[in-house]
Chain A
């Protein structure tokens, strides 16, 4: 047993962090907020070159051949750097395409020639069938080729061309684009039941990894501000009101990141309690991200309330990510229905 990243895994994280800081800096979220696509297509292509959309896909299928642990390590960095864009949707869509024999689509997604959007069912338990009915919120659908739906009700791919007109909405999160649609029988490529469940669990862990990264980013931003912001002649971090808040933030991160790795390792190791571990990760990471983001704003005072400060971007993104892979309420109810962990 070893729940800490190996040297090689740490290198994956460091390389991803360096790439994101250079190519997808958080300022871009503000700069591109009125663009149709949250990510510059050229940068997206470079992410594809790094193999990011096939990290957990076997080499025989054109992927990198790592496990979910490595993928979670990457997604934690994506959360930490607040990299906008359909990373989660595209990585899951690759897997869904392979499982349904759509090899060309998987290849095109991995190559960065196209990307996927997430379809969040308004009712997380509604059955995902072909043809597909129901109301969906669409994340990053503008310019996407395919819509990925992955939830407790099943998983499927829907070609965007088959969607019909999408209602455009202003997203709370400037790092994502939002649409809404009522599907009235769209043709869908539905995953077999077992594959769909596994995909949903993987997606749940990856969403949790992004959220754990958010929690860590704002912890660091808060601690830095507490060390350097001077009021009453001393750094504000000398006050326990601030110091203890920062300590709580650190605690939430430790819990969230550990549980994300545990859940990812559980899936890689084919344990029986993967659903239990994945839901636990999503719950703890959601709370860590949202609570830490809130505390970070407070610690920043007036600055924290401005759009120009990163603090608000993390909060908004945390809420957007938390809504994916079934909301908190669903995971809370679901976790109690499961048998205890192994």
Chain B
């Protein structure tokens, strides 16, 4: 056990640092949806051109073929700057990409993976339905085989970035007569197919990042099925494990920067009695706790990456990282909201300067999206600790 990075790691870190310093996007992320899409893809393309896309992806798919350690270094350096969030690139880079690598056919991989890395496409995740959220396996959107096509009808909900996506990882019920975890198929859906209707939903933070998606006899080629028909649950689980695992590294590094920003805020702002807010014992204690928690979040990430390197894939411990992260993030943003005091009466979007109120509102999604905190606790209890299932 050690914390030492090798000489080549250090060289790699220097290269990353130099490149990032020169390529920080000058403009902010637009809020208009088409412009936002263009911005996110452009930034991905810039990384591709610089040779930084898919650091830990195999070279045959356009990646660098390096290890998770280099990926970690990249995120650590990335998080030091106020760089664009992964946002609309998240599903492609951290979800669909890894799932395709694990389960897709050679043709599917060869077609899709380079496009994700080059910033040519946006992916979205069509898992949740109105009646299938935590109980994802009860999903009912139907897919039936017709010749060499799959015909889809039904509805998904909370699909982030569906309105600007090209492709979707879609879960459909292909056999309603078997136990619910069987009979599900994972299929690649072209979001421009006829019969798809998308309705954006406004979030409590004020953005319209997620949508309802309706499928009206949408025809997809059977060649788009990933894995076997009716075996989609297993495919989906490899994706979810990723979402709960190393995909958090960047968020974790960003959170540590936020905590440092907040400490600066608390030094700069003064309480009514004129003393800096950081002299307020309660706030000081909460800030110090936040620092410690964010430090241990990094330690947990290191442990998860080490484990992943030994075992080959993230285990149920990913749920611990996700739960600890979302709890810590919510505490940090609540603390931020308390520190800015009356300024918090004003709404400022989370991506704007001083957007503490928007960030606070956004933090409510952390314990819901990607599997709720209650579900993470169930997983930890049952799969990590072996407690009986409820």
Binding site for B on A (CB under 8 A): 120, 122-126, 137, 169-173, 178, 180, 230-233, 236, 239, 241-242, 294, 297-298, 301-302, 304-309, 311-312, 315-316, 319-320, 323, 327, 329-330
Is A298 a contact partner of B347 (Cβ separation < 8 A)?
Answer: no
Q: Which residue of B lies closest to A307 (CB)?
A: B202
Q: A124 to B95, alpha carbons, bound, how many Å?
A: 49
Is A232 a contact partner of B364 (Cβ separation < 8 A)?
Answer: no
Task: List B334-366 residues whose CB lies under 8 Å from chain A.
Answer: 337, 341-342, 344-348, 357, 361, 364-365
Contact of A305 among B131, B203, B342 (CB under 8 A): B203
Known: A125-B272, A170-B346, A241-B377. A304 touches B368 (CB 8 A): yes
Is B204 a contact partner of A312 (Cβ separation < 8 A)?
Answer: yes
**Is B135 at the interface (CB under 8 A from chain A)?**
yes
**Is B324 at the interface (CB under 8 A from chain A)?**
no
A to B contact number (C-beta, < 8 Å)? 105
- In the complex, which residues of chain B have a beta carbon less than 8 angstroms from the beta carbon of A308? 201-202
Chain B residues touching A, majority SS: mixed
Chain A residues touching B, majority SS: mixed
- In the complex, which residues of chain A have a beta carbon less than 8 angstroms from the beta carbon of B377? 241
Interface size class of B (residues with CB under 8 A): 35 or more
Known: A122-B342, A294-B364. A301 touches B272 (CB 8 A): no
Q: Which residue of B lies closest to A231 (CB)?
A: B135
Taking A171-B347, A309-B204 as given, write out 15 further A-B residue pairs in contact, using a Cβ cutoff of 8 Å, ordered by the A residue number: A126-B272, A170-B346, A171-B346, A172-B345, A231-B134, A236-B134, A241-B377, A298-B368, A305-B365, A306-B202, A306-B203, A308-B201, A312-B361, A327-B342, A329-B341
A174 to chain B, nearest CB (A): 9
Known: A125-B272, A171-B346, A241-B374. A302 touches B202 (CB 8 A): no
**Is B154 at the interface (CB under 8 A from chain A)?**
no
B349 to chain A, nearest CB (A): 9
Q: A58 to B134, alpha carbons, bound, how many Å?
A: 56
Binding site for A on B (CB under 8 A): 128, 131, 133-135, 138, 157-158, 201-204, 206, 210, 272-273, 280, 337, 341-342, 344-348, 357, 361, 364-365, 367-369, 372-374, 377, 390
Is A170 a contact partner of B133 (Cβ separation < 8 A)?
Answer: no
Known: A123-B272, A305-B364, A308-B201. A298 touches B372 (CB 8 A): yes
- In the complex, which residues of chain B have a beta carbon less than 8 angstroms from the beta carbon of A315? 204, 364
Q: A301 to B373, alpha carbons, bound, how many Å?
A: 10
Known: A178-B345, A305-B368. A239 touches B374 (CB 8 A): yes
Q: A137 to B344, alpha carbons, bound, how many Å?
A: 11
Is A178 a contact partner of B272 (Cβ separation < 8 A)?
Answer: no
A228 to chain B, nearest CB (A): 12
Q: Which residue of B lies closest to A176 (CB)?
A: B345
Q: A339 to B366, alpha carbons, bound, how many Å?
A: 43
Is A298 a contact partner of B373 (Cβ separation < 8 A)?
Answer: yes
Pick from B135, B158, B348, B364 the residue with the most CB of A within 10 Å: B364
Q: A213 to B107, alpha carbons, bound, how many Å?
A: 60
